[in-house]
Structure formats: C-alpha cells, structure tokens
Amino acid sequence: MKGVILAGGLGTRLLPLTKITTKHLLPVYDKPMIYYPLETLAKAGIKEIIIVTGPENPGDFIKLLGNGEEFNVNLTYRLQKNALGIAHALSLVEDFADGNNIAVILGDNIFEDNFKEYINKFKDGAHLFLKEVPDPQRFGVAEFNKDEVISIEEKPINPKTKHAVTGFYLYDNKVFDIIKTLKPSARNELEITDVNNQYIEKQEMKCSILKGYWTDAGTFESLHRASNLIKNSRNIK
C-alpha cells in the first residue's frame, strides 16, 4: 500500500496566518502540522508517500521534508495547480499508486491511533475511520451497522449518529475510476463524499471507530485544540 497526504487548499479560514505560508506548515505544539500525518503513515509501515500541495509553497515543503529520509520513507511531491477539491487532488496520483491500494490522509488531520493493523488487513473496497464527537453537525456524519457504512450526511442539522468521518481513508485502486465519473459540486469541486457514496452504493464501504484522539487543525479553534491534545498526551505541564 502507498500513502497520500493531501495538503492543498488555500487555508482561508486561518488568515492572516496563511497569508504567506500554507496552513500545513504552521506549528502544532512543537512540530509543523505536516509532520503529524507524515508520521501517522510512517508508523503504519507505509514507505512510499506522496504529498499533493498547491503551487504557492512546494519549495517550502521540499526544504522542510526533503526526500523523507528523516522519517524513514521515500517522499515525492505533486502539484495541484487549482484548488478543485479533495477528490481532484487524489486523481493526480493515479500514476504514483501504480495499481496499488492507497492510504489517504488529510494534511490538517491529527490522529493518536496507529493504523498499521487496518492497513495490513485491507484488501479491497474502501474503509473509513469514525470518531464520536460532541458536535457532529460540523462534520460528515456516518450511519453504520457494525462495520458497514449505510450513509454519510454532510453537516446534518439532525445527525443520525454522533460519529464523524475523519480525514483518513483506505481505497482500492478502483477509486481512480470512480473519480473520473464525478461532476463538480455547487462549489466547483470534486467531492470526496461523492467518492465514498459510490463505494457505499456498492456495499463496499467498511468502517472502524477510533479509540484515541482525533482533530483537524484548519480553524483557529481546532488549531489551538490540536496543540493542547499533543501537549496533554505527553503529560507536559
């Protein structure tokens, strides 16, 4: 399995912090944000990783991370020239996947769990990771039966569960064929939810519930929360 870190987008919710840099290079406690998804994939045993980023800051990523040697991985990069959505960014790495299954992580998501066992067991279809949250209205919310996902509802007013869909996904190589069938959403993006819904329709979407903490870091509140989670997990006073 190969790893994909999606680190594009404009980061407008974090202005003015992102006026001269990408949010993925902002600090989360004592490390740049991008370190956390990279370490998550490396700890799971994935050696071949690609970072998809926008055209504004590729040199900064390369200067910071190089070829991945520091993390004991082989790291490459791909530009997403325009911010056309998560699924669009994923479509750019079909040649990198080269027929392999892929583990996809959003560059502003921070996880405590180790995904190695899930990755070793994964064979085909798709797999989501859910986390029970107090404010599910802010997220995509999954309805599920045991380990099978029944539906995903985006930012529902009356959520059917309290389980948010986190930014870590396992896909087989059919994901690229699915993306080719998508049409842009109302915000002119190719949506990852549309990809997931096609797997759900085929009854090929499984899920697991995370045990450790999870947060994104794409707003001022969640960026602050992410730093506190890291600090508290290390028992630092």
Q: Which runs of consecutive H residues, i.e. helices, occur in 54-115?
A: 58-65, 86-91, 94-97
Confidence category of residue 177, pLDDT binned at 50, 70, 90: very high
Identify whether the C-beta of residue 103 lies closer than 8 Å to the C-beta of residue 3.
yes
Residue 26's SS3 state is: coil
Which residue in the block uniquely carries the two structure tokens 């299954």? 101
Give me the pLDDT at residue 57, please.
Answer: 82
Q: Which amino acid is at 71?
A: F
List the structure tokens of 223: 């960026």
Identify whether the C-beta of residue 110 lies closer than 8 Å to the C-beta of residue 43.
no
Q: Which amino acid is at 199?
A: Y
Residue 113: is its pLDDT beyond 70? yes
Task: Give the chain's mean pLDDT.
Answer: 94
Among 236, 233, 228, CA closest to 27: 228
Residue 236: is its pLDDT beyond 70? no
> What percent of the chain lies above the pLDDT cut of 70?
99
- φ and ψ at 193, to 5 degrees? -65, -35
Confidence category of residue 237, pLDDT binned at 50, 70, 90: low
Give me the pLDDT at residue 85, please.
Answer: 92
Confidence category of residue 144, pLDDT binned at 50, 70, 90: very high
Could you report the per-residue pLDDT of 65-87, keeping only the tens digit for each?
999 999 999 999 999 998 899 99
2-233 in CATH: which number? 3.90.550.10
Could you report the per-residue pLDDT of 9-34, keeping only the tens digit for each?
878 899 999 998 999 999 999 999 99
Residue 90: is its pLDDT beyond 80? yes
More confident residue, 214 or 138: 214
Residue 208: is its pLDDT beyond 60? yes
Identify whether the C-beta of residue 132 lies closer than 8 Å to the C-beta of residue 162.
yes
For 101-121, the three-class secondary structure string (H helix, E strand, C coil) is CEEEEECCEEECCCCHHHHHH
Confidence category of residue 36, pLDDT binned at 50, 70, 90: very high
212 Rama class: left (phi>0) / alpha (psi -120 to 50) / beta: beta
Could you report the per-residue pLDDT of 53-64, keeping only the tens digit for each?
998 888 999 999
Give me the pLDDT at residue 89, please.
Answer: 96
- Which are the contacts of 222, defined by CB distance < 8 A and separation ≥ 6? 215, 216
Report pTM: 0.95
Give me the pLDDT at residue 198, please.
Answer: 96
